[in-house]
């Protein structure tokens, strides 16, 4: 036991050192100190716990789901909370709400993951190219960005989905097309600051081209700001996806998408409130978890901004 304790202490001392011996050592030490800062934020850890639980629920949905989320039983419709065999009741077609919530977590994570992969990458590419190139390239790209920012996100997403057609993939594409402009603005601001740095000038004198400078030296410095923004934007992305599902333009029936479940339950909101309220609480909980985690990551990755 004492050997294990001393081993842990030596690892901790190695990670907490002020004089790293290599680039890898410095990176690991920075990650460990960031984790300690994040772990000290109880609200951020609470949000992280909710998201990890959501991930596990989505991963083990077939094992956790008490019923088939698509099986209908009209003789068992609109059962209240706590009814026999249905902890969260049933909907208007007799389907178990808890099972549909569990499987709906997969759709939520699917949308979040795809948008988080598409929108920040597109914004990073546009913003860094605009900021580094300057001139007419910067002007054209930023005016296009301003056009997208001039429209409310949900309205613009509705227009794209109306043009592309209803469906979860088209909803993801529409949300991504409306979500990238803020990332482009952040990346451009970071690039304008970085491109005039002395080490960038030194790299340029060594013969490095624009592509190498952007991908190897500017992108890594923009990542932390984008991670914070992505985490804080996840709540809005979930709400946008739920809004499209509520309007029938997102995931199509009988998919157990949370927004579509609210849309179905709104007809019974006065007499059978749980049909719409339960998925609404699920959306609220996950959105709150992303916001709490985003605040914690901002303190870790951008402490200057978090202290203002």
Please report whether residue 283 resides in a domain: yes
Domain that holds residue 155: 92-306
Please report whether residue 64 resides in a domain: no
Distance in angstroms (rounded) separating the CA atoms of residues 302 and 249: 37
Please report whether residue 256 resides in a domain: yes
| SS3 letters across 53-106 | HHHHHHHCHHHHCCCCCCCCCHHHCCCCCCECCECCCECCCCCEHHHHHHHHHH
Please report whether residue 156 resides in a domain: yes
Strand, coil or helix: what is 176?
A: helix
Our count of domains for the chain comes to 1
Please report whether residue 70 resides in a domain: no
Give the CATH number for residue 260: 1.10.3720.10
* Reported pTM: 0.82
Please report whether residue 52 resides in a domain: no
Distance in angstroms (rounded) separating the CA atoms of residues 190 and 187: 5
How far, rounded to the nearest angstrom, does the alpha carbon of residue 154 sit from its chain's CA centroid?
17
Torsion of the alpha carbons at 262, 116, 113 and 213, rounded to the nearest 10: 180
Please report whether residue 9 resides in a domain: no
Inter-CA distances, 111 with 50, 167, 252, 266, Å:
17, 12, 14, 23
Please report whether residue 22 resides in a domain: no
Per-residue confidence in pLDDT tens, the chain, 308 aa: 444 555 556 767 666 666 666 677 667 767 777 777 778 888 989 999 999 999 999 999 999 998 888 888 888 888 888 887 888 888 888 899 999 999 999 998 898 889 888 999 999 999 999 888 888 988 999 999 999 888 888 888 888 888 888 788 888 888 888 889 999 999 998 888 888 777 777 887 887 777 888 888 888 888 888 888 888 888 888 888 888 888 888 878 788 888 888 888 888 888 888 888 999 999 999 999 999 998 888 877 765 554 43
Query: Residue 304's pLDDT is what?
Result: 52
Q: Which two tokens stand for residue 19?
A: 């004089």
Residue whose pair of structure tokens reads 């088209």 in the numeric block: 170
């Amino acid at each position: 036991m004492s050997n294990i304790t001393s081993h842990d202490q030596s690892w901790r001392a190695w990670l907490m050192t002020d004089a790293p011996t290599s680039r890898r050592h410095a990176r690991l030490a920075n990650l460990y100190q960031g984790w300690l800062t994040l772990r000290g934020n109880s609200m951020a850890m609470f949000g992280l716990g909710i998201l990890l639980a959501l991930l596990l629920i989505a991963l083990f949905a077939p094992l956790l789901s008490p019923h088939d989320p698509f099986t209908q039983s009209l003789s068992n419709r609109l059962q209240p909370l706590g009814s026999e065999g249905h902890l969260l009741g049933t909907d208007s077609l007799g389907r178990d709400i808890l099972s549909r919530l569990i499987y709906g977590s997969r759709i939520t994570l699917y949308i979040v993951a795809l948008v988080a992969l598409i929108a920040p990458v597109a914004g990073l590419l546009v913003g860094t190219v605009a900021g580094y190139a300057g001139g007419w390239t910067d002007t054209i790209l930023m005016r296009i960005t301003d056009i997208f920012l001039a429209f409310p996100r949900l309205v613009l997403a509705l227009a794209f989905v109306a043009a592309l057609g209803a469906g979860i993939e088209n909803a993801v594409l529409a949300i991504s097309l409306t979500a990238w402009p803020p990332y482009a603005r952040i990346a451009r601001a970071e690039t304008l600051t970085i491109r005039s740095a002395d080490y960038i000038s030194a790299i340029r004198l060594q013969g490095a081209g624009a592509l190498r400078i952007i991908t190897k030296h500017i992108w890594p410095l923009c990542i932390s700001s984008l991670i914070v923004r992505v985490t804080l934007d996840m709540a809005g992305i979930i709400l946008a996806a739920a809004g499209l599902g509520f309007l029938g333009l997102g995931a199509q029936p009988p998919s157990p998408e949370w927004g579509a479940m609210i849309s179905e339950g709104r007809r019974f909101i006065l007499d059978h409130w749980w049909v719409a309220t339960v998925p609404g609480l699920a959306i609220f909980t996950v959105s709150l978890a992303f916001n709490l985690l985003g605040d914690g990551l901002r303190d870790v990755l951008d402490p200057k901004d978090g202290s203002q």
